[in-house]
Amino acid sequence: MRTLSVVGVLLCGLVSGSYGLYSKGDAVVDLTPSNFDKLVTNGDGVWIVEFYAPWCGHCKSLVPEYKKAAKALKGIVNVGAVNADEHRSLGGQFGVQGFPTIKVFGANKKKPEDYNGQRTAQGMVDAGLAAAKKLAQAQLGGKSSGGGGSSSNANAGPGEGKDVVELTESNFKKKVFDSDKGWLVEFYAPWCGHCKSLAGPWADAASRLKGKMNLGALDATVHGSIASDYGIRGYPTIKYFAPGSTEPEDYEGGRNADDIVAWAEEKAAENIAPPEVKQILSEKTVSDACGEHPLCVIAFLPHILDCQSSCRNSFIDDLTKLGDKYKKKQWGWLWSEAMAQPELEAAVDVGGFGYPALAVISQKKMKYSILTGSFGYDGINEFLRELSYGKGRTNSVRGAKMPTINKVDAWDGKDGEMPVEEDIDLSDVDLDDKDEL
């Protein structure tokens, strides 16, 4: 019997040790993984939630004041408690690292704010009312706020920027792996101070890189499986995913917007295809190459009768190789047959140099530079290298606007042929029938 009594006492002790600090009679709602999303994350109104451990001395000391605050806020602000020692998944989801931790769930339930006020009923009531007022004002204005609580944007993550894509376990693979553009992904935690500092530059960089590279943010405390897949051990961690790649590389740039943009543009340029050297066929051809790029390189090639297909293709091949070499500059590349675009040639003074000739135009500045050296790979490369360093002589485009472009037929890739001369039949002409002088 003595043995049974001892076992009974031990069992009783184990059972009592698993009890929480709050009972059903309190105004404090017992929150668990089974009801948390329904009541808090997806529920209405503001919630103040304490994450505690039953063995924690500070948690036990807080109980009377927390009950008092819950009673005072009943019907106004919801007050709940999570036994984070028993339900560790909830604590981990919200970055709880010590007990007690109190968080205020306002308008943005996925990014609650830490309560850092006094551990008194009055302090917690004031924080709850402030959060409720903020939520009401946001709903009155038709806007969503960053959450309730005692400090504005205390847990703002990098996903706050309008051009930063919020990544989750459900959309990560589809958005990142299936993209034709690269991705910079930040793995962050809402409570991380360095992540908060990065939020502004990250949002700024996302807007500046729009159309070139995607910037995303994943809350690693919520979507832990993705973070685990990539060995994320600290916050913030930034990874770069090349287009279509599932294996990222570490971001090695700085933490301000300029550094992020510069690093991303360098990576984006590595993955772009070499530009196509296009024949000038219409206004649109020139507009696309010169108006949408910082510079456009235009080659004026000899007439097909002066330089047959093999000759012309050799020039175009050199231009294509140079386009690949300078693709990071994102220039436009064009060619035209000699005298097919007389107004364009006149605007950049090509005529005096003969053919082939080459001009580089900045439509934004209405300036151009002419190749005066050898029209070959090495000569053009030297000329373009000088321009890329900001060197070289420039002139103003004649008329300070892009000239009229003629519509021409596309070259068929064949050799040129002289027009066939018609045979003249003189058999019916009487050469002797002339007027006498």
| Residues annotated as part of the active site | 56, 59, 192, 195
Nearby residues of 402 by Cβ (< 8 Å), 6 or more positions away: 286, 287, 290, 347, 363
CA-to-CA distance for 55 and 422, rounded, in angstroms? 109
Q: Dihedral angle at the C-alpha atoms of 55, 57, 62, 63, nearest 10 degrees? A: 40
**Inter-axis angle of helices 57-73 and 121-140, nearest 10:** 50
CA-to-CA distance for 381 and 427, rounded, in angstroms? 61
Nearby residues of 172 by Cβ (< 8 Å), 6 or more positions away: 218, 223, 226
Q: Under a CB-based contact definition with an 8 Å cutoff, are residues 277 and 334 in contact? A: yes
CA-to-CA distance for 64 and 50, rounded, in angstroms? 13
Q: Tokens for 247, please give them.
A: 């294996």
Q: Measured between alpha carbons, how far apart are the two ends of the chain, in Å? A: 160
> 88 forms bridges with which residues in the sheet?
none
CA 405 to chain CA mean position, Å: 37
Q: How many residues does the chain have?
A: 437
**Inter-axis angle of helices 193-208 and 257-270, nearest 10:** 50
CA-to-CA distance for 268 and 247, rounded, in angstroms? 16
- Sign of the torsion formed by the C-alpha atoms of 191, 193, 194 and 196: positive
Q: Tokens for 337, please give them.
A: 């047959």
DSSP annotation of 395: E
DSSP annotation of 143: -
**Inter-axis angle of helices 377-388 and 309-325, nearest 10:** 30
- φ, ψ dihedrals at 222, nearest 5°: -100, -45
Q: Which secondary-structure segment (H or E) carries 93?
A: helix 88-93
Nearby residues of 414 by Cβ (< 8 Å), 6 or more positions away: 309
Closest CA to 105 of 140, 154, 160: 154
Report the 10 Å Cβ neighbour count for 115: 25
